[in-house]
Amino acid sequence: MDATNAAELWDRVVGTQPDPTSWLVASTGLIALAVVVFRTTWRISRNAITIAHEGGHGLVALLSGRRLDGIRLHSDTSGLTVSRGKPTGLGMILTAAAGYTAPSLLGVAGAWLLASNHITALLWGATALLVVMLVMIRNAYGVLTVVVTGGAFLLVSWLTGPEVQAAFAYAVVWFLLLGGVRPPFELQSKRRGGGAYDSDPDQLARLTGIPAGAWLLMFHTVSLCSLLAGGRWLMGM
């Protein structure tokens, strides 16, 4: 690739795109809401939330100085991130807290980019994050899930026009914001039924002495506040 082509590619990625119509923003939000609400579509699409969840654990583990051994994604939409390092302390607390907050916080970051009309940058940034995550995947189903997801981002960002890119990007960000709300409620329901004995809130309770219910409340707060803030950005309010 010569310097001219590289410059054109860079301008394409970091440049701004036209504002989408309010109809597109609202309709993609309604589609994302339907995907999250209905059990059949949620069962499939929840894999994307699991990618963000485990990716959040992995990223914070690395940023806090821990060694990331690998990530596994399972067909039942569960996942596991394994890191090495001090078993207690701030780094471990942040790593454990990152999972349930990651989808919503990624949604807020995506909403900020879209509000700034950086649609292509969002698509390419998401692709880059998925490529980095792929290196750490340690099972076949996880590899398949990340490759399919990353491939969708790459194809849309490279082969489609501005309107399709905008529709895809807004649908993804709405899904992260709305989909980030449901898992804490699912976890709360499991805990009420006597399950999920070793969930992230339970690990955080052992690490900090703060009750698991308080951590669960924090996850609810982050997801709902993220939905409110991100939704306002997406709707241009």
Count of domains for the chain: 1
pLDDT at 62: 94
Q: Is 68 part of any domain? A: yes
- The single residue listed with the structure tokens 């960000």 is 173
Q: Is 6 part of any domain? A: no
pLDDT tens by residue, 86-117:
888 999 999 999 999 999 999 999 999 999 99
Q: Is 11 part of any domain? A: no
Q: Is 154 part of any domain? A: yes
- Predicted confidence band at 74 (pLDDT cuts at 50, 70, 90)? very high
> Is 195's pLDDT higher than 80?
no
Q: Is 126 part of any domain? A: yes
Check if the beta carbon of residue 71 is closer than 8 Å to that of residue 58. yes
Q: 117: alpha, beta or left, given left = phi > 0 and alpha = psi -120 to 50?
A: left
SS3 labels along 139-192: CHHHHHHHHHHHHHHHHHHHHCCHHHHHHHHHHHHHHHHHHCCHHHHHHHHHHH
Q: Is 1 part of any domain? A: no
Q: Which domain holds residue 226?
A: 18-234
Q: Is 151 part of any domain? A: yes
DSSP E strand stretches across the chain: 67-73, 79-84
Q: Is 94 part of any domain? A: yes
> CA-CA distance, 41 to 34, in Å (whole number)?
8
